[in-house]
Amino acid sequence: MLPKIKKFIKKNKKQVKIGLIVLIILIVFLVLYKSLFYSNSEKATYGVRLRDIEDNEFTKEEQKEVKEKSSDIEGVSSLEIVIKGRLIKFFVTFDEGVSNDDMKNKFNEMVGYISDKVKNYYDITFYAIQDKDDKENYPLIGYKHKSNAEITFDEF
């Protein structure tokens, strides 16, 4: 097979040279296109939107303190805090007898445990979980945007 390729190249030198030049130009254009239109920030999930997160970080110590204070609230059986980018998620499991209005008050109390620096940088989402009849229910979800002072609630 190799002798056939050598014979073809010798017979069609001009066309092979043009083909190689076109292939090299195509590769150069693809590399330029990718470097111009696709930034390196795509490698990070949030790009440059988190460049100042170190200045406003919700540290492990602060998380632990908020978690301890929030777990001491009457009616709260467990609490998990998850941070993803500029979003803090509170997954709060409440005892069975807690009403939605009580949950709202407890969420507002939890926001009070967070420093103003963190509240003004992160969006905060609250998920109420309540076990009823051996089923997990999500009766209430709260959302606090970093620019708002109050929590917006959705009841289910």
d(CA 140, CA 153): 7
Domain harbouring 127, CATH code: 3.30.70
Q: Are residues 17 and 74 in the same domain?
A: no
Judge whether 44 lies within some domain.
Answer: no
Q: Are residues 76 and 149 in the same domain?
A: yes
Judge whether 128 lies within some domain.
Answer: yes
What's the pLDDT score for residue 43?
Answer: 56
Number of domains in the chain: 2
Q: Is the pLDDT of residue 87 over 80?
A: yes
- Across the range 19-28, mean pLDDT stands at 96
Q: Are residues 28 and 56 in the same domain?
A: no
The whole-chain average pLDDT of the chain stands at 88
- Strands (DSSP E) contained in 95-146 are 123-132, 135-144
* Least confident residue range of 43-52, 65-74, 87-96, 108-117: 43-52
Q: What is the residue range of 15's domain? A: 2-38
d(CA 156, CA 145): 21
Give the predicted TM-score (pTM) of the model. 0.69
- Across the range 1-16, mean pLDDT stands at 86
Phi, psi (deg, nearest 5) at residue 30:
-65, -40
